[in-house]
Amino acid sequence: MNGNAEFAISVRGLTKRFGDRTVVDHFDMDVPRGSIYGFLGPNGSGKTTTIRMMCGLLVPDDGEGECLGYDILTQSRRIKEHVGYMTQRFSLYEDLTIRENLDFIARMFRLKDRASRVDAALEDLDLKDRADQLAGTLSGGWKQRMSLAACMLHEPSLLLLDEPTAGVDPKARRDFWDEIRRLSAKGVTVLVSTHYMDEAVQCDFIAYIAYGRRLISGPAREIPKIIGLHTWRVEGGDISALEEELRKDERVGQVARFGPVLHVSGTDKMALDAVAQEQMKRGTHEWTAREAGLEEAFIYLMAGARDNFAGAGAAR
Amino acid sequence: MISFSLGRFSAVLIKEFVQMRRDRVTFAMMIGIPIMQLLLFGFAINSDPKHLPTLVQMDDSGPISRAVLASMRTSDYFDFIGAVTGREEGDRALRDGTANFVVVIPRNFERDVLRGLSPDILLAADASDPTATSGAVAALTGIVDAAVAQSLTGARQPEPRPAEPFSVTVHRQFNPESETPINIVPGLLGIILSMTMVMITAVAIVRESERGTMEALLATPVRPLEVMFGKIIPYILVGYIQTAVFLAAARLLFDVPFLGSPLAFFVGFNLFIAVNLMVGFLISTLARSQMQAMQISFFTLLPTILLSGFMFPFAGMPGWAQAIGNAIPATHFLRITRKVMLKGAGLADITSDMAAIVAITAVVIVIALSRYRQTLD
């Protein structure tokens, strides 16, 4: 493997326009080798387009970058040989069986020992019993497993997963992530776009994109700090009534409920602390200051309008 | 930069075969269409129709008049459905379509014939559809002459007329009886291949982008040529099967001869299949959905039927229409099949037609490859 030793993906100023609509606007990203990199953002924010540009399926209108040390503008064929790309929509052949699909992909990558590698992939992802079932008759979870098996077949060193668990049940999602972590432990770099908080918290790094612009990125642990989010934990008393009340309070940024506990957060520390002081005086609930977690950060990001953290995004 | 992987090519090929095998309806259609078309065109279409409903206005009832009617009837062109007594009645029948012809034998016809006065028989024909009536009209003079001549023997011979200064002998070559199936069937093969090959190829490729599988395909290191050939070759085989079925049926059902060189046919036919598949491939790069691909294919089918010389004589078209016709592959394949099957042509006789097909193919390939995208842009 040649090129940059530190980053699997390193792009600068990536821009894509469809007609007069700028879908991705001067996007920068560095994905450290061996990491799990979460790619967050609302629908239509340009995640899929960015991923497609990184693996050579779309030609950027502007910008430059490397993927596994290969130039994304001129060496897309080399990139394709070392990247496993799992599309958002199921994109294998529904009228072929699982085995036929995997065999087809194996031939596309000109793999040696094709039969044994297909067998191994079937074994790995527990698809053996269904190997001769037509892909079109599989449920969402199985289709997704098969897609993962297909994009892993040529043992890529970088996986690009575009909302891989959309529409998949929670158990299948957990299994899927076990598999992702197992691959990551073997040194595979994973870039995964997602809408789910429980997936975001599994990532080592996070980038948040909205309207085609990267607003925030950094190690997952530092994201709350980068946003500048402060949190109070509240429990006891009539928690529902309090939740209702706090939601109406303009000084409070967001209220997230975790069972009997409320996490009250905001970026304006002064205002938030003032609310906490007032509430503590009432003494109906127990208030404790705590460090904002990735959960709060995630909710904040997914709910927030872009103006709120356009400034904070420059922190990194 | 140009490299071609046999492995990837055969992977696409195998996949296409498996998909084709699983898509029973399309497969049945590929075999069913040629047979159905052949039966429809072969049995239903007749450009030299016979047994046309005819009315008679008999103003003279002598033996010669009766002989004329009798031989008209035996010619099979005319079916006498009744008699009329006046001009008006005959006109009404022509107008409302109960009769295609009204034959008027004039008063004193027999007497005038015997006197050598050359009286006129009137054949009023419904010429709003010239194809329907022209065959019968053309045949009539001969029929009447023969009938009259036969009736005039011995003493009834009229005054001898001077011999004609010259005579014209028509020699109908290659299809002496002017049987429509013999004219239609060889050309029909070109139409059927144009229709199925173009449409099936176009749809098969567009299906990849419509179902989203193109994205996975493009994410692999596959090259355009590998996809193109891998997807096209299975359909060449379909073309072979269609043609075999078609030729067998043409022979067994319609006695269409095959007089020429099988080699010439084989070469011309392969060129034609190749050009059709390329046109289908080109359409697939233009269409965004299977529906569009289907519509564009149908759009190309109409000029193929109308301007190729299949339906209407090529020589009868104005120059600009002939120019368009010459750009249509079926025009040239039609000439090849007629030349080889009916006229006994060999390779040397069809070189200009083959060259035309090759030229069209080259143009289509250049356009198609420049349109084929390796990205999702």
B214, B221, B377 ranked by CB distance to A80: nearest: B221
> What CATH number did the domain enclosing A251 receive?
3.30.70.250
* A49 found inside a domain: yes
Name the residue among A59, A77, A96 with its Cβ closest to that of B221: A77
> Using the beta-carbon criterion (under 8 Å), do B220 and A100 form an inter-chain contact?
no
Angle formed by the axes of helices B351-371 and B262-286, nearest 10°: 20
- For residues A71 and A18, membership in a common domain is answered with yes
**Same domain, yes or no: B105 and B247:** no
8 Å CB contact between B71 and B143: yes
ipTM: 0.78
How many Å apart are CA A271 and CA A208, to the nearest integer? 26
Q: Which residue of A has its CA nearest to B23?
A: A95
* Alpha-carbon gap: A58 to the closest alpha carbon of chain B (Å): 5
Q: Does a structural domain hold residue B164? A: no
Among the candidates A222, A250, A279, a domain finishes at A222
Out of B7, B23, B219, name the one closest to residue A57 (CB): B219
Based on the fold, state whether residues B205 and B226 are members of the same structural domain.
yes
Can you read off the two tokens belonging to residue A269? 């520390």
**Residue B11: what pLDDT?**
92
Residue ending a domain, among B156, B171, B191, is B156
Question: Which residues of chain B neighbour A113 with C-beta distances below 8 Å?
Answer: none
Q: How far is A291 from chain B (nearest CA, A)?
A: 42
Predicted local distance difference test score (pLDDT) of residue B153? 65
| CB < 8 Å to B220, chain A | 80, 105, 108-109
Last residue of a domain, one of A222, A247, A270: A222
Residues B364 and B218 in one domain: yes
Please list the residues that pair with B58 across neighbouring strands. B105
Residue A33 located in a structural domain: yes
Taking the C-alpha atoms of residue A208 and residue A194, their distance in angstroms, rounded to an integer, is: 10
Best probe of the A interface among B26, B27, B215, by most A CBs < 10 A, is B215
The residue range of the domain holding A98 is: 7-222
Q: How far is CA B267 from the centre of its chain?
A: 21
CB-based contact, A112 to chain B, within 8 Å: no
Burial class (CB in 10 A: 0-12, 13-18, 19+), B167: exposed
Same-domain check for residues A210 and A241: no
Domain end point (choices B156, B187, B208): B156
Is B170 within a domain? no
In a domain, A2, yes or no: no
Which residue does chain A place closest to B21, by CA atoms?
A95
Residue B220: closest C-alpha in chain A: A80
Tell me whether residues A91 and B216 touch, CB distance under 8 A.
yes
Q: What is the mean pLDDT of each run of 10 residues along chain B (377 residues)?
A: 78 91 83 84 79 89 85 87 87 89 88 84 86 82 80 60 69 78 86 88 86 87 83 87 88 88 93 92 88 92 90 89 94 93 90 95 89 67
CA distance B210 to chain A (A): 10
If asked whether residues A188 and A264 sit together in one domain, one would say no
**Contact A38/A51 with Cβ under 8 angstroms?**
no
Give the pLDDT confidence score for residue B13 in this predicted structure: 92
d(CA B369, CA A302): 44
Taking CA–CA distances from B14, the nearest residue in chain A reads A104
Rounded-to-integer distance, Cα A235 and Cα A258, Å: 10
| Domain co-membership, B103 together with B187 | no
Give the DSSP H or E segment for B241. Answer: helix B224-254
Residues B189 and B327 in one domain: yes
CB of A177 closer than 8 Å to CB of A199: yes
- Residues A1-28 as b or e (16 or more Cβ within 10 Å = b): eeeeeebbbbbeebbbeeeeebbbbebe
Q: Is the dihedral of CA B148, B150, B151, B155 positive or negative?
A: positive
Q: Both A232 and A215 in a single domain? A: no
| Residue B1 is assigned to a structural domain of this protein | no
Query: Given an 8 Å threshold on Cβ–Cβ distance, is B15 in contact with A77?
Result: no
The number of folded domains in chain A is 2
What tokens were used for A112? 């040696």
**Is A159 found in the same domain as A262?**
no
- Residues of B within 8 A of A151 (CB-CB) are 219
Q: How far is A194 from chain B (nearest CA, A)?
A: 19
Let me know if residue A268 belongs to a domain.
yes
Query: What's the gap between Cα B121 and its chain centre?
Result: 35
Domain CATH for A25? 3.40.50.300
CA distance B187 to chain A (A): 36
Asked if residue B348 belongs to a domain, the reply is yes
Residue type, B177: E
| Residue A135 near residue A97 (C-beta atoms within 8 A) | yes
Task: Report CA-CA distances (Å) from B336 to A2, A197, B218.
Answer: 58, 68, 40
DSSP code per residue over B258-271? --S-HHHHHHHHHH
Tally of domains within chain B: 2
Residue whose pair of structure tokens reads 């750009």 in the numeric block: B327
Instruction: Kindly state whether residues A293 and A173 are assigned to the same domain.
Output: no
The conformation of residue A1, written as its DSSP 8-state character, comes to: -
Q: Looking at the structure, tell me whether residues B255 and B213 fall in a common domain.
A: yes
Whether residue A253 is contained in a domain is answered as yes
Q: Does some domain include residue A14?
A: yes
Among B91, B122, B156, the domain boundary falls at B156
- pLDDT tens column, A78-136: 999 999 999 988 999 999 999 999 999 999 999 999 999 999 999 888 888 989 999 99
Q: Which structure tokens are listed for B219? A: 């994410």
- Residue B172 placed within a domain: no
Q: Pick the residue of B213, B227, B374 with the most A CBs within 10 A to test the interface with A by mutation.
A: B213
Query: Tokens 């099979």 correspond to what residue?
Result: B76
Best A52, A94, A97, A104 member to test B by mutation, with max B CBs in 10 Å, is: A104
A39 and A131 assigned to the same domain:
yes
Question: Looking at the partner chain, which of A95, A107, A109 has a beta carbon nearest the beta carbon of B19?
Answer: A95
Of B10, B211, B219, nearest to A85 by CB-CB distance is B219
Opening angle at CA B184, ends B179 and B189, nearest 5: 145
Contacts of B4 in chain A (CB under 8 A): none
B201 and B285 housed in the same domain: yes
| Chain B residues in contact with chain A using a Cβ-Cβ cutoff of 8 Å | 5, 7-8, 10-11, 14-15, 18-19, 22-23, 211-222, 375-377
A108 contacts B217? CB cut-off 8 A: yes
Q: What letter would DSSP give residue B119? A: P
Q: Give B25→chain A minimum CA distance, Å.
A: 14
Touching check for A171 and chain B: CB below 8 Å?
Answer: no
Q: What is the reported pLDDT for A1?
A: 46
Within a domain: A193:
yes
Contacts of A59 in chain B (CB under 8 A): 375, 377
Residue A126: the pLDDT is: 83
Exposed, middle or buried, B308 (CB in 10 Å: 0-12/13-18/19+)? buried
- Rounded CA-CA distance A203/A207 in Å is 10
What are the tokens at B174? 């290659």
Choosing from A172, A201, A222, the residue where a domain stops is: A222
Do both A99 and A178 map to the same domain?
Answer: yes
Tell me: the pLDDT tens digits for B91-147? 888 888 889 899 998 888 888 888 888 888 888 888 888 877 888 888 888 888 888
Question: Domain containing B291: what range?
Answer: 6-45+179-371
Question: A176 and A120 share a domain?
Answer: yes
**Same-domain check for residues B129 and B224:** no
* Residue in the structure block whose two tokens are 């009938």: B147
Q: What 3-state DSSP class applies to A26?
A: strand
Q: Are residues A131 and A236 in the same domain?
A: no
Give the span between the Cα atoms of B313 and B306, in whole angstroms: 9
Mean pLDDT by 10 residues, chain A (316 residues): 73 90 91 93 86 89 92 90 91 93 93 92 87 91 89 93 85 87 92 86 90 87 88 87 87 87 88 89 87 84 54 37
Say which residue the tokens 């043409």 belong to. Answer: B250
Paired strand residues for A207: A39, A217
Same domain, A238 and A194: no
Residues B107 and B183 in one domain: no
Whether B40 and B68 map to the same domain: the answer is no
Binding-face residues of A in 51-90 toward B, CB within 8 A: 52, 55-59, 77, 80-81, 83, 85, 87, 89-90
- Please tell me the distance in Å from B375's CA to the nearest CA on chain A: 5
Report which of B271, B269, B276 is spatially closest to residue B368, judged by C-alpha positions.
Answer: B276
Q: Which helix (H) or strand (E) holds A45?
A: none
Residues B106 and B235 occupy one common structural domain: no
Question: Could you tell me whether strands B101-105 and B52-58 are parallel, antiparallel, or unpaired per DSSP bridges?
Answer: parallel
The DSSP element (H or E) to which B374 belongs, if any, is none
**Same-domain check for residues A130 and A229:** no
Give the CA count within 13 Å in the CB-facing half-sphere of B20.
25
Residues of A in Cβ contact (< 8 Å) with B221: 77, 80-81, 108-109
Residues B129 and B183 both lie in one domain:
no
Nearest CA to CA, how far is A164 from chain B (Å)? 14
Q: Which residues contact A135 (CB under 8 A, 6 or more apart)?
A: A90, A92, A93, A94, A95, A96, A97, A98, A101, A143, A146
SS3 of A139, please?
coil
Q: Which amino acid is at B161?
A: R
A31 touches chain B (CB under 8 A): no
Chain A CB contacts of B214 below 8 Å: 91
Residue of A nearest to B227 (CA): A108
B307: in domain:
yes
DSSP label at A138? Answer: S
**What is the pLDDT of chain A when averaged over all its residues?**
86
Q: Do A235 and A263 form a contact (C-beta atoms < 8 A)? A: no
Query: Could B221 and A108 be called an inter-chain contact, meaning their C-beta atoms sit closer than 8 Å?
Result: yes
pLDDT at A85: 94
Q: Give the pLDDT confidence score for residue A3 in this predicted structure.
A: 53
pLDDT digits (tens, 9 = 90+) for B184-220: 888 889 998 998 889 888 888 888 888 888 888 888 8
- Which pLDDT score, from 0 to 100, does residue A97 have? 95
Q: How many residues does chain A have?
A: 316
Residue in A91, A105, A107 closest to B215 by CB? A91
- Closest to B213 (Cβ–Cβ): which among A81, A85, A92? A92
- Full DSSP string of A169-217: -HHHHHHHHHHHHHHHHTT-EEEEEES-HHHHTT-SEEEEEETTEEEEE
3-state secondary structure of A149: helix
* Cβ distance of B22 and A58 shorter than 8 Å: no
